[in-house]
Amino acid sequence: MNIEVINLNKKFKDFQLKNINIKVPKGKIVGLIGENGAGKTTLIKCILGAMFKNSGEVKLFDKRYNDSNKDDIGVVFDDSYMIETFTIKDINLIMKNTYKRWDSKLFFKYVKEYNLPTNKEIKRLSTGMKKKLEIITALSHHPKVLILDEPTSGLDPVIRSEILDIFQNFVDNKENSILLSTHITSDLEHIADDVIFISKGEIVFDKPLKEVKDNYIVLDVDKDEIDSINKKDIIRIKENRIDYQVLIEKKNMKKQYEKYIKNITALDDIMLLYIRGV
């Protein structure tokens, strides 16, 4: 197991992470989804040691978390965090003096591949270029795990697709893995093996993506026909202006429900119904 979080608790005045248990196996991309403020970033910061946990344990590569095994982790955060008066050459200089396995050749190979200017200050780069720089910086010390917090937010679909390709290539060796936190669930539908849904500091489900998509069905039911749905079958229901959105398990699917089936059940729908439905 590359990352294992066991019974992690973190309390704030107005929020807490409760008994979080997650596993990120070798060769897998694990998506962490949830609404803003659900606790995704807090969980990531607890894993990285930027925040202290109140109780629980974080294991990296089956060993108790310590500072030296962070050499095997690459990190990308949501917000930009590189000092913008620096250049790409400066970043290389800092990182090669920070990580034991920093690979300048690989770094500049990526820089060339993604057409990033080496002498320009980072503040002169576009949002997409900055994000690519952050990702290649995370990759250039040959990490075994990438921990990514909203790495594709604010990017256009073309750049997002390029970045998702990088992530897929990263896990191709079956040894590396990625913990990817995002609220752009459509990104996960293309690349994630497992999905962890976290809401209000608690894990709602932790399942293989295929199982999530195969097990749940979202029905769009007209208001006057809602009685045709057996209440026992409903996991979550959300009232809209003209209809109800109803989440049911596939095993509870009945013939009379077929006409209400949405064409594609997206992770977004499932997440929305869990958060806003009753």
Partner 1 sequence: MKGLIIKDLLFIKSTWKFLIIMFIGSLLISVALGNYLLAICVLPVMLLSSGINTFQTDEFYNTDSYILSFPLSRKKIVLSKYIFTLIVLLVSTYIGLMLYFFIYLIIHPGFNGLNTDMIKQLLMLEFSAVFVNSVFYPVIYKFGCEKSRLVLLSIVMLLLGIVSIASVYINTQNVNLDFEFIVNTIQTYGVYVLGVFVSICLVISYFLSILFYKRKDY
The DSSP annotation for 165-224 comes to: HHHHHHHTTSS-EEEEE-S-HHHHHHH-SEEEEEETTEEEEEEEHHHHHHHEEEEEEEGG
Give the distance, in angstroms, between the CA of residue 208 and the centroid of all CA atoms in the same chain: 14
**Among 4, 60, 99, 234, which residue sits at the site for partner 1 (rule: CB under 8 A)?**
99
Q: Which of the ranges 54-62, 79-87, 210-218, 261-269 carries the binding residues for partner 1, by CB under 8 A?
A: 79-87
**Among 21, 98, 126, 169, which residue sits at the site for partner 1 (rule: CB under 8 A)?**
98
Q: Does 106 bind partner 1 (CB under 8 A)?
A: no
Tell me the closest approach of the beta carbon of residue 96 to partner 1, in angstroms.
8
Q: Which of the ranges 92-100, 164-172, 232-240, 255-263 carries the binding residues for partner 1, by CB under 8 A?
A: 92-100
26-65 residues in contact with partner 1 (CB under 8 A) are 45, 48-52
Q: How many residues bind partner 1 (CB under 8 A)?
A: 32
Q: Does 95 bind partner 1 (CB under 8 A)?
A: yes
Helix (H) or strand (E) holding 158: helix 157-171
User: Which segments within the chain are labelled E, that is strand?
Assistant: 3-11, 16-24, 29-33, 55-60, 63-64, 73-76, 145-149, 177-181, 194-199, 202-208, 216-222, 234-239, 243-249
**Among 75, 133, 198, 267, which residue sits at the site for partner 1 (rule: CB under 8 A)?**
75
Q: Which of the ranges 81-89, 181-189, 224-232, 240-248 carries the binding residues for partner 1, by CB under 8 A?
A: 81-89
**Among 83, 239, 256, 262, which residue sits at the site for partner 1 (rule: CB under 8 A)?**
83
116-155 residues in contact with partner 1 (CB under 8 A) are 147
**Among 6, 18, 61, 82, which residue sits at the site for partner 1 (rule: CB under 8 A)?**
82
Is the sign of the CA dihedral 172, 137, 35, 11 positive or negative? Answer: positive
Q: How far apart are the first and last CA of the chain?
A: 35
Residues 159 and 59: their CA atoms lie apart, in Å, by: 33
Q: Which is nearer to partner 1, 66 or 115 (CB)?
A: 66
Q: Does 204 bind partner 1 (CB under 8 A)?
A: no
Residue carrying structure tokens 């009753």: 278
Tell me the closest approach of the beta carbon of residue 88 to partner 1, in angstroms.
12
**Among 29, 32, 77, 133, which residue sits at the site for partner 1 (rule: CB under 8 A)?**
77
Q: Which is nearer to partner 1, 86 or 108 (CB)?
A: 86
Tell me how many degrees the CA angle 158-83-89 measures, rounded to the nearest 5.
75
214-243 residues in contact with partner 1 (CB under 8 A) are none
**Among 23, 26, 59, 70, which residue sits at the site for partner 1 (rule: CB under 8 A)?**
70
Tell me the closest approach of the beta carbon of residue 59 to partner 1, in angstroms.
16
Tell me the closest approach of the beta carbon of residue 69 to partner 1, in angstroms.
8
How many CA atoms lie within 13 Å of 270's alpha carbon, on the beta-carbon side?
A: 26
Residues 158 and 126: their CA atoms lie apart, in Å, by: 14
Residues 36 and 210: their CA atoms lie apart, in Å, by: 24
β-strands 194-199, 177-181: how paired? unpaired
